[in-house]
Chain A
Amino acid sequence: MITALIRKEIRLEFRQKSTLGGVLIYITGTIFTSALCFAGKVDKPTWNALFWVITLFTSVTISGKSFLKETGGQSLFNYLHYPPSKFIIAKMLYNMVFMVTLSFITFIFYSFFISAEVGNPGLFLAVLVFASSGLAAVLSLMSAIAAKAGSGFALMSILSFPVAMPLILVSIKLSKLAMDGIEWAGVNPQYFIILIALNLLTATLAYLLFPYLWRG
């Protein structure tokens, strides 16, 4: 059933291309604007900061849409046909995969337009995978809350930014190490444990709490 739900999500995404297209245009737009501003070359901390800002906003846009786009009839249909636990797992998995893909696209575009030497690209990409999947998990639940509250996208960003902060902070710390070219052996494994634990924790909480939202 979960795979069926994910397949449905993918099909919906490509049928109404507005979200996908909008996000891609958002990513290229911000990257291109910053490239023009910085004349294609920035120092490492700025590069890092800008990258995470773009990723954060991309993930809020993507995951925000995941529940907000479902109108009354659609959510009633989902409510009647799917158990909430499977529904939220499908949503989270889909958002995670989508978000990881998009963050890789962002990374490629971004390093293409604004050059900065990432000292340890493997570490950077590993951080990126966990950070964007964690963001997707957090923001899926926030999107469900905002959709139930019925006040749209503004509330979504108000709710999400503070709760996404722990994740973002650890990711920024790790990605700074990656920028400076620290080897794997020099990275404190505690950071990765925290990052993975945050992923698991947010996903579990979303899984446990979602059924209560669903009933309303």
Chain B
Amino acid sequence: MQNTVPRLDILNETIRNVYYHVPIWFAMIFMLTVSFINSLRTLSSADLQHDTHACNAALTGIFFSIPGMLTGAFWAKFTWGTWWTFQDPKLNGVAVSLLIYMAYFILRSSVEDEIKKARISAVYNIFAYVMMMIFIMIMPRLTDSLHPGNGGNPAFGKYDLDNQMRTVFYPAVIGWVLFSWWIYRLINRISVLQKQLDE
């Protein structure tokens, strides 16, 4: 991490944030995908355990959005000059996906019956995940964005990341994704214990 980094206009040393900001969002997307897959499994098997896993994965994903947003806000402050902007479709997308998962948790808390809750929230989760993916993956490519790789801005991957940065960036991605997986497993164990305590 102490390597020299390419000196780019505006970015300067802040380019090191790419080791944190980008992998954290990868971890979030990964967790929300795990949640989506578990919701699919809930519908196909009617096993309540999958539903708990789906909920825990969503929780972990949303948890990762907090550092993702903080690192993004700091980066934006030093490069774009503002903490938050409504001009960028990716930022809007994140705000909307947070709203979606808040709605998902509210939906879960409003249904009493376990089986019913599992099925209804799985249906919502699948629908919401697809909508969220459209929002954060496809929409930014259609409109102007301040992010690299969108709206005519060059992506990091093309020529900004030099090989030295890659040796940090790729392990960082793997590390953050595994970190999210570890937290997810921990929460799963907590739910199992909680369930046993309740019984």
Contacts and interface: CB of A to CB of B under 8 A. Distances in A.
Interface residues of A, number: 31
Nearest to B143: A173
A159 B103 contact: yes
B123 interface: yes
Given A209-B126, A213-B120, A216-B120, A166 B134 contact: yes
Given A145-B107, A162-B99, A173-B143, A194 B120 contact: no
Contacts of A161: 99
Interface of B: 43, 92, 96-97, 99-100, 102-103, 106-107, 110-111, 115-116, 119-120, 122-124, 126-128, 130-131, 134-135, 138-139, 142-143
Contacts of A198: 134
Contact of B128 (A163, A188, A201, A206): A163
Given A149-B107, A149-B111, A155-B106, A163 B131 contact: yes
A38 interface: no
A209 B127 contact: yes
Contacts of B97: 162
A162 B103 contact: yes
Contact of A194 (B96, B127, B138): B138
Most buried by B among A149, A190, A209: A149
B132 to A, nearest CB: 9
Contact of B110 (A155, A205, A209, A216): A155
A156 to B, nearest CB: 11
Given A158-B106, A162-B97, A213-B120, 16 more contacts: A141-B127, A149-B107, A151-B111, A155-B110, A158-B103, A158-B107, A162-B103, A162-B128, A163-B127, A165-B131, A194-B138, A201-B134, A205-B130, A209-B123, A209-B127, A216-B119
Contacts of A191: 142
A216 B119 CA distance: 8
Interface of A: 141, 145, 148-151, 155, 158-159, 161-163, 165-166, 169-170, 173, 188, 190-191, 194, 198, 201-202, 205-206, 209, 212-213, 215-216
Q: Is the interface of B mostly helix, strand, loop or mixed?
A: helix
Nearest to A167: B131
B108 to A, nearest CB: 9
A46 B1 CA distance: 49
Given A159-B107, A173-B143, A165 B120 contact: no
Ranked 3 nearest A-B pairs via Cβ: A162-B99, A162-B100, A151-B110
B111 A166 contact: no
26 contacts: A149-B116, A151-B110, A151-B111, A155-B106, A155-B107, A158-B107, A161-B99, A162-B96, A162-B99, A162-B100, A162-B131, A163-B100, A163-B127, A163-B131, A166-B96, A166-B135, A169-B139, A173-B143, A191-B142, A194-B138, A198-B134, A209-B43, A209-B123, A209-B126, A209-B127, A213-B123
